[in-house]
Amino acid sequence: MSKPAAADFAVGVTQERSAPTPEEIRSQLQRLLASPAFHGSKRCQQFLEYVCEKALTGESGALKERTIAIEVFGRSPQSELGEDTIVRVGAREVRKRLAQYYVTEAGTTTEIRIDLPSGAYSPEFRYNRAIPEPEPVPAAPAVLLLQPSVRRKRRGIIVGACSLAAALALVAAVKLSSANPNVEPFQNFWAPVMQSPEPLLLAVAHPIVYHPSRRALRWSAENEPPGILGQEPIQVAPNRLDGSDMIPVQNQYVGFGDMVVANEVTAMLARKNKSVRLRMASGVEFADMRKSPTLLIGAVTNRWTMELQPAWRFRFVRTPEMRPAIQDSQTGEEWSVTSKEDGSSPDDYILASRIRNSVTGGMLMVAAGLKQFGTEAAGHLLTDPDQLGVILRKLPKGWETRNLQVVLHSRVIGNTPAQPEVVAAHVW
């Protein structure tokens, strides 16, 4: 008997792809970098592109924290990086943006998935396995008439199986909770929002931005040929300008830190099938906050943060030197930062609040830093069970049903806030 041809053996065999090719990965990487999840962060784009290229060229072993700090974040090779958390913070931000991308329509239908595993800087590439089509349900067999004793026995088997399944599910839930003790307090913190039939109202700060006048722009163009439109600083002698050259523009801009909070809270709640309404605080009416749980984003540039804070222990004030500060109204202690004229600062203070019995009659939350860095850190804190859960577990018992305010401090490294630490808290 002659042997069958080699081709005969391949008939009916499905060839399964084991891993995407470098060309496929690079194509998917470019789609990721251009997506809304990454479009707003040049630093995250650079981080993800760098680690992917290193992995694709077989240099995963070079993906060390120090190397990334130097080549991506511009740290000096001679600098001491022992307490510099910029790479870890950057990796955490990339992971969050990847998670945001994969819950979008483009992310759920993508053929290739790129992940950055927790605790590592080497990315993983794989195909998104399609969910197999359900097998056709066979036709129901003819109904047999069973004796009563047989029916009782079968009913007992079914009830027992259901009870066993419920018990296993309960055990799994308990194991999950015990494996990460921060999950339960995190869920309790957000419970009033999740239990409300109304969407969470995100009231974003509305800073006043000053545009240069047209004559200032003309004078600047005479002194310095214009580069990219709107991206060059004004080049005009100070004595030629006066107050009329600063044009106030209201209700058209949002700060980067405020955007991070809105984005991360929206993404976190979307994964839990909870909707939000996004509004500028200047357009929110008091009646709106009576109807919906509300998150006030931003401090002195948020109308409602400033109007409602007299009832709180921790409040935002300005020092005699016109620096923003958080003040303890009971002790008079203040926390402020020293920043340069361009807004940069080596650190920031944050106020995170959850007030169940607010003067609005509804549940009120606050996420705000003295500067944008602290507000950005507040966004990470409120949506991360490991960050928020650790803090909540140290609060007095019964905090779950009470009002609470927490003041935190965060270092700022390369315009990126590090994980904050608690400096004061109040539960009532």
CATH code where residue 307 lies: 3.30.379.10
Question: 197, 214 in Cβ contact below 8 A?
Answer: no
Last residue of a domain, one of 92, 111, 127: 127
CA-closest candidate to residue 274, choices 288, 292, 259? 292
CA–CA distance, 365 with 353 (Å, rounded to integer): 5
* pLDDT for residue 76: 82
CA–CA distance, 371 with 343 (Å, rounded to integer): 8
Residue 236 lies in a domain: no
Return phi, psi of residue 412, to 5°: -120, 120
CA distances from 29 to 72, 110, 186, 263, 365 (A): 17, 11, 33, 21, 37
214 contact partners, CB below 8 Å, separation of at least 6: none
Q: 198: which 2 tokens?
A: 């109304």
Last residue of a domain, one of 111, 127, 143: 127
Residue 366 lies in a domain: yes
At 405, the amino acid letter reads Q
* pLDDT for residue 84: 76
Residue in the block written with tokens 């602290």: 374
CA–CA distance, 384 with 364 (Å, rounded to integer): 19
Residues 275 and 198 in one domain: yes
CA–CA distance, 91 with 256 (Å, rounded to integer): 19
Residues 105 and 200 in one domain: no
Q: 216: which 2 tokens?
A: 């200032």
Residue 173 lies in a domain: no
Residues 64 and 196 in one domain: no
CA-closest candidate to residue 387, choices 48, 77, 92, 51? 92
Helix (H, G, I), strand (E, B) or coil at 65: helix
Strand partners, 328: 314
CA–CA distance, 173 with 194 (Å, rounded to integer): 19
* Per-residue DSSP letter, 251: S
Residues 62 and 196 in one domain: no
* pLDDT for residue 37: 87
* pLDDT for residue 79: 76
Question: 65, 87 in Cβ contact below 8 A?
Answer: yes
Return phi, psi of residue 128, to 5°: -80, 110
Would you write out the chain's pLDDT as a tens digit for each of its 428 residues?
444 443 333 333 334 457 899 999 999 999 999 898 887 788 899 999 999 999 999 988 889 988 998 889 888 887 777 767 888 888 988 998 898 888 888 888 889 999 998 878 999 999 876 444 444 545 444 444 445 554 555 665 655 555 555 555 454 544 444 568 999 999 999 999 999 999 999 999 999 988 999 998 888 888 776 565 566 778 888 888 999 999 999 988 889 999 999 999 999 999 999 999 999 999 999 999 998 999 999 999 999 999 999 999 999 999 998 889 999 999 999 999 988 877 788 999 999 999 998 889 889 999 999 999 999 999 999 999 999 999 999 999 999 999 999 999 999 988 889 999 999 999 99
**What range defines the domain where residue 72 resides?**
22-127
Residues 192 and 100 in one domain: no
Residues 203 and 120 in one domain: no
Residues 199 and 301 in one domain: yes
Residue 259 lies in a domain: yes
Residue 64 lies in a domain: yes
| Strand positions, DSSP E, 252-397 | 276-280, 294-297, 314-318, 324-328, 334-336, 347-355, 364-369
- The full DSSP string for 109-167 is H-SEEEE--TT-SS-EEEE-PPPPPPPPPPPPPPP-PPPHHHHHHHHHHHHHHHHHHHH
* pLDDT for residue 77: 82
Residues 381 and 275 in one domain: yes
CA distances from 87 to 11, 62, 75, 103, 188 (A): 51, 14, 10, 25, 31
Residue 263 lies in a domain: yes
Helix (H, G, I), strand (E, B) or coil at 204: strand
Task: Indicate the pairing of strand 294-297 with strand 364-369.
Answer: parallel
Last residue of a domain, one of 107, 127, 147: 127
CA distances from 242 to 79, 237, 249, 322 (A): 43, 11, 17, 22
Number of domains in the chain: 2
CA distances from 201 to 37, 208, 277 (A): 21, 22, 5
Residues 190 and 123 in one domain: no
Residue 278 lies in a domain: yes
* Per-residue DSSP letter, 352: E
CA–CA distance, 251 with 325 (Å, rounded to integer): 24
Residue 9 lies in a domain: no
Residues 56 and 190 in one domain: no
CA distances from 55 to 35, 115, 125, 335 (A): 21, 12, 10, 44
